[in-house]
Amino acid sequence: MSDRPRFSAWRPHPWHGLSPGREPPARVQAFIEITPFDRVKYEIDKESGYLKVDRPQRTSSLPPALYGFIPRTYAGRRVGALLPGASDGDHDPLDICVLSERPIEHAEILVATRVIGGVPMLDAGLADDKILAVLESDLVWGGVADVGDLPPALVARLVHYFSTYKQLPGEPPATSVGAVYGREHAYAVIRAALEDYRELVPDSG
């Protein structure tokens, strides 16, 4: 057995070059784009793989959890078919929110997570689900098995954020958010997103 370390000689693309996790859909890896401390929304530049400024946060509301995406996922037709009223997926990697008891202030990091549910969101008629997960081995949230185990106030905060984070005063809502769903439906969404990605990038393995 060799003791030589395994490493990538070049920085892998966060969307295409990283693993979706060791045991998807139950346990997935999240690439974090923004934290609860960010007043600017950052997102991955799909061509270069680096973070770019998307826009300042539109309101005083800040993200209630770590926010990013699951590598090698894609919200295409299969993801869209799982959300009533959606004409398609939003053609982005699948979004994920990660709960952590300890403040994590750095973005552009990898987080091992356990999936507990999701928030269904329609954005301009496209499915834009937000998977909910907990940081693996978290001392407070690590025992949560399903979104129903979370405090109702925290769930309400997540739903409120996604209901309003794109809306400006005096403008009609840009998105619509439904009732949160549990882990089994979240698993189905992740499986669909993995399949949509394999269709988008057939040689991804």
Contact predicate 180/139, CB 8 Å: no
Contact predicate 30/111, CB 8 Å: yes
pLDDT tens figures, 145-177: 999 999 999 999 999 888 887 766 667 777 899
pLDDT tens figures, 98-119: 999 999 999 999 999 999 999 9
- CATH for the stretch 27-204: 3.90.80.10
What global pTM score does this model have?
A: 0.93
Q: Under 8 Å CB-to-CB from 61, ≥6 apart: which residues? A: 160, 161, 164, 165
pLDDT tens figures, 171-203: 777 789 999 999 999 999 999 999 999 999 998
